Amino acid sequence: MLQAAGLTKTYASGDRRIAVLRGVDLLLRAGESVSIRGESGAGKSTLLHLLAGLDAPDAGELRWNGDRIDAARCTAIRNRFLGMIFQSFHLVPELTAEDNVLLPRRIGGRVDAAARRRAADLLARVGLGERARHLPSQLSGGERQRVAVARALMNQPSLVLADEPTGNLDERTGEAVITLLLELVAETRTALILVTHNPAHAARTSRHLTLSEGILHHG
């Protein structure tokens, strides 16, 4: 469903080039959940950006559902193929919870009655059915992240990428968000790549990887 082969990425630092990723290989099957851990600065977010097609590798190949992905193609299909969840929520402050969830459909130009019903159903599923008309500023951090989970699933993606989704939450709220996320992706057979610093959260995925010295390792 997702295949990365030999992904490399370097960045300039003064006169030096720093290799962040040194040939990452990853095979993800439909419905599989995978966690990625690593030290701060190991390149976890860089890797997610490459897997999402938000940045281009210096070398290597990325395939979604068997199709090779490059800058020209990924923008057109990213909105249908994957959803993303970020540590800092990335909700639009001027939009209600419902309209934030609807954003992936609005980008695709398909906000109709069926889309609004799906947004309402997702908000109810994440426990925010009564908060649909609230702005992000009127929601707690945990509630904002639950809106972000619903938004990531709006277009029924094949894959969800979650980048430290509990990093700005207290332990109890973070545990509730991870439980909800894992339940929802399991129910919908959506694949998940979870970047987390929390070993307990990582242990709840079906496969566990560590990013170290620019390479993904098992365990």
Give the pLDDT confidence of 63-112 residue by residue, as tens digits: 999 999 976 778 779 988 999 999 999 999 999 999 999 999 998 777 99
Whole-angstrom Cα Rg for the chain: 17
pLDDT below 50 — which residues of the chain?
Answer: none
Contacts of 169 (CB under 8 A, 6+ apart): 141, 142, 145, 177
Tell me what pLDDT residue 73 has: 74
> What count of Cα atoms within 13 Å lies in the side-chain half-sphere of residue 79?
11
Strands (E), 16-65: 16-28, 33-37, 59-64
CA dist., res. 158 & res. 62, Å (int)? 15
Tell me what pLDDT residue 76 has: 72
Tell me what pLDDT residue 154 has: 96
CATH code of residue 76: 3.40.50.300
pTM of the complete model: 0.94
| Sign of the four-CA dihedral 83, 29, 179, 163 | negative
Tell me what pLDDT residue 188 has: 93
Segments forming the whole domain that contains residue 208: 2-218
Overall number of domains in the chain: 1
